[in-house]
Amino acid sequence: MPRATSQRAGRATPSKKQAATSGRYTAPIPRDKRHSPAWYPFVIIGLLVVGLVVIIANYAGALPGGTHDWYLIGGIAGIVAGLILATYYR
């Protein structure tokens, strides 16, 4: 059974006839609008610093209830959240 022309081996992208089905054009975001708010870097730095302080305070035994794994998990979660937000910073 022969293959259809759109299922030819070796073609990874659809042809231009198949790609232009909607006919809509979405304009790119202007360069002056592509920036993060002024408070965004403070949130990133805050999460990183708070995560680090929680981890250090846990090892020093300065947190209520002594040393617990949940403090470490919270500190690491703060650091990871700060790193994730940093990847979206413009």
Domain ranges (residues) in the chain: 34-90
Among 90, 83, 79, which Cα is nearest to 37's?
A: 90
Give the per-residue pLDDT at 59: 93
Give the per-residue pLDDT at 33: 76
pLDDT digit string, tens, across residues 12-68: 666 666 555 667 888 888 877 788 899 999 999 999 999 999 999 999 999 998 888
Among 72, 76, 50, 51, which Cα is nearest to 61's?
A: 72
Computed over every residue of the chain, the mean pLDDT equals 84
- CB atoms under 10 Å from CB of 51, counted, come to 21
